[in-house]
Amino acid sequence: MKISCAQLNYHIGNFKGNLEKMLNAIEVAKSEGADIVCFGELATCGYPPRDFLEFDDFIVHCEESIKTLTDAADGIAVVVGSPTRNPVPEGKDLYNSVYFLAQKKVLHVQHKALLPTYDIFDEYRYFEPATVFDVVEYKGKKIALTVCEDIWDVENENPLYTVSPLDEMVKYAPDFIINVSASPFNYSHESARKEVIRKNVLRYNIPMLYINHVGAQTEVIFDGGSIAMSPNGNIYKEFNYFEEAQSTIDLGELIKGESLQEQAMSKIQKIHDAIVLGIKDYFGKLGFSKAILGLSGGIDSAVTAVLATEALGRDNVRVLLMPSQFSSDHSVNDARQLAENLGIQYDIIAIKDIYEQYMLSLKPIFGELPFNVTEENLQARVRGMLNMALSNKFGHIVLNTSNKSEMAVGYGTLYGDLCGGISVIGDVYKTEVFELAEYMNRNKELIPRNTITKPPSAELRPNQKDSDSLPDYEILDTILYQYIEERKGPSEIIASGYDEKLVKRILRLVNINEFKRYQTAPVLRVSPKAFGMGRRMPIVGKYLS
């Protein structure tokens, strides 16, 4: 038996586009002599559809896609994820299901049992969990169909769940497992995913075909990396990351487990490729093509500019250099040099006169009050206004250039440098931004060396440095990581050797600046715990305040 696995980039609610991709993949599978072709979880509508699932018309479109795919299941079987209606009045209205279509008929439907409701997932909001488990027989083989999370409770070890679907299905002696997934990317998830698949195939001594999504849906990025794993735990085939792919697997060869084809990527390479894909799909799926950002001569805007240029092409990226009276000459020169290295359009608008006009207008109210953060924020908002003006006039989308360290502690100005349509590096700590810059310069110097080596500064007052307001980023990022990603409280972090006053100050800054993060752009998610839909914190909570 031959099984074709199609790792596709779906678009939420784009039923026509998603269907066309799958119909094309069916024809490719047929040409390669495949008996079965497999697609991902909720492939008809894209993942995560969120509250679109509450619209009856949305479900009707999913059903119409299944009808078309059923008609196409002629001479080949089709495995595809789609929502289905719950026919009984008790429980949720829908199931998250996987169809097995063959001979122009629906031969089997298996519902998802384990519904993740943590981090970015919220499936109990929409779906009823499965309570019935079976296998489907096709061409003399018994097949266990599972949906994403259903393979993640090996040996009933996950306290979130009370059943292991494959423990139930194995009673019917399946010959192999197909898992249709929509497993989002973070830089550490790949190894966990492989380990879970390996635990399953070793436990049940049968091979698994794991088909994942690829592509970005706003902030959520899917990395692909679909896998065919042999019963001995060897990876027979691992699909490329961050790109569409289709391959036909011979079941007999898969069972032998003699071949090993595995991808190898560093953490920074994965973050880089994920963000490039995230930008590309955010613009492409929304029908945008051109981006603009403020280029300061600092490392954050430099890294953002390189990522945008890789994603959109140099003709579609424009940068605005907006020096103030506090900007150093080398910052302007570094920004200009980067723009020329990338071959992107740049314009220079000095903000000194605009800023002074604001101050003149505010003089009757401010009087002789001393210079403080107000004047610093005013400069940032002038820059934000200029970026937005060009955005409106020329149809460019503003890219936010704030990093995760700054967003965490509120080191940014609402309606100023925090403005933008998408936050490109908002899930990348400052120390990781430096690593990205070095990675980008691996073949030739794109980012000027001075941009990487000079002390970070917002340049909003004379001789300003980030270290005036923040601890060194190596210390700051380690404390932030323990609090945000590892969810450790202050006592645990202090016990690991950090100064008590410093820890409490940093954690307080994180909490009191939640209101800023609520008003900023969606953040491309590359870590296990990103700001946004996966981290839900109260604005008015008093914890550590």
Catalytic residue among 5, 38, 62, 148: 148
| 137 lies in the same domain as 253 | yes
| 449 lies in the same domain as 505 | yes
Q: What is the 3-state secondary structure (H, E, C) of 342-361?
A: HCCEEEECCCHHHHHHHHHH
Specify the number of domains making up the chain: 2
Q: Catalytic: 21?
A: no
For every residue of 396-435, DSSP letters joined together read PEEEE---HHHHHHT-S-TTTTT--SEESSTTS-HHHHHH
| 238 lies in the same domain as 363 | no
Q: Catalytic: 148?
A: yes
Catalytic residue among 41, 128, 238, 310: 41
| 233 lies in the same domain as 307 | no
For residue 297, the SS3 value is coil
Q: Which two tokens stand for residue 134?
A: 């079976």
| 170 lies in the same domain as 300 | no
Residue in 253, 259, 324, 82 with CA at minimum distance from that of residue 182 = 82
Instruction: For residue 48, say if its preceding peptide bond is cis, omega within 30 degrees of 0.
Output: yes
| 343 lies in the same domain as 402 | yes
Task: Report the chain (545 residues): mean pLDDT per 10 consecutive residues.
Answer: 98 98 98 98 98 98 98 98 95 97 98 95 96 97 98 82 92 98 96 95 97 98 97 94 97 87 86 98 97 96 98 98 82 94 97 96 96 94 97 97 97 95 98 98 96 79 71 95 97 96 96 96 98 94 75
Return the ∠ at Cα 116 (arms to 113 and 122), rounded to 5°.
120
Dihedral angle sign, alpha carbons of residues 452, 458, 460, 463: negative
For every residue of 489-535, DSSP letters joined together read -HHHHHHTT--HHHHHHHHHHHHHTHHHHHTSPPBPP-SSS-SBTTB
CATH number where 150 lies: 3.60.110.10
| 207 lies in the same domain as 144 | yes
Residue 6 CA to residue 22 CA, distance in Å, equals 8
Q: How many CB atoms lie within 10 A of CB 306?
A: 24
DSSP for residue 395: T
Catalytic residue among 21, 38, 45, 112: 112
102-157 pLDDT, tens digit each: 999 999 999 999 999 999 999 999 999 999 999 999 999 999 999 999 999 887 77
Residue 530 lies inside a defined structural domain of this protein: no
Strand partners, 127: 94
Residue in 66, 160, 179, 67 with CA at minimum distance from that of residue 112 = 179
Which pLDDT value is given to residue 328? Answer: 67
Residue identified by tokens 């990527």 is 265
Residue in 38, 168, 157 with CA at minimum distance from that of residue 113 = 168
| 403 lies in the same domain as 487 | yes
| 123 lies in the same domain as 182 | yes
Residue type, 84: T
Residue 86 CA to residue 98 CA, distance in Å, equals 14
Q: Catalytic: 352?
A: no
Which pLDDT value is given to residue 456? Answer: 75
Strand partners, 422: 399
Residue 510 lies inside a defined structural domain of this protein: yes
Residue 310 lies inside a defined structural domain of this protein: yes
Which pLDDT value is given to residue 326? Answer: 81
Tell me the residue length of the chain: 545
For residue 542, the SS3 value is coil
Which pLDDT value is given to residue 402? Answer: 97
For 286, phi and psi rounded to 5 degrees?
Answer: -95, -5
> Which residue range is the domain that position 163 belongs to?
2-264
Dihedral angle sign, alpha carbons of residues 119, 479, 308, 399: positive
Q: How many CB atoms lie within 10 A of CB 360?
A: 9
Residue 532 lies inside a defined structural domain of this protein: no
| 255 lies in the same domain as 278 | no
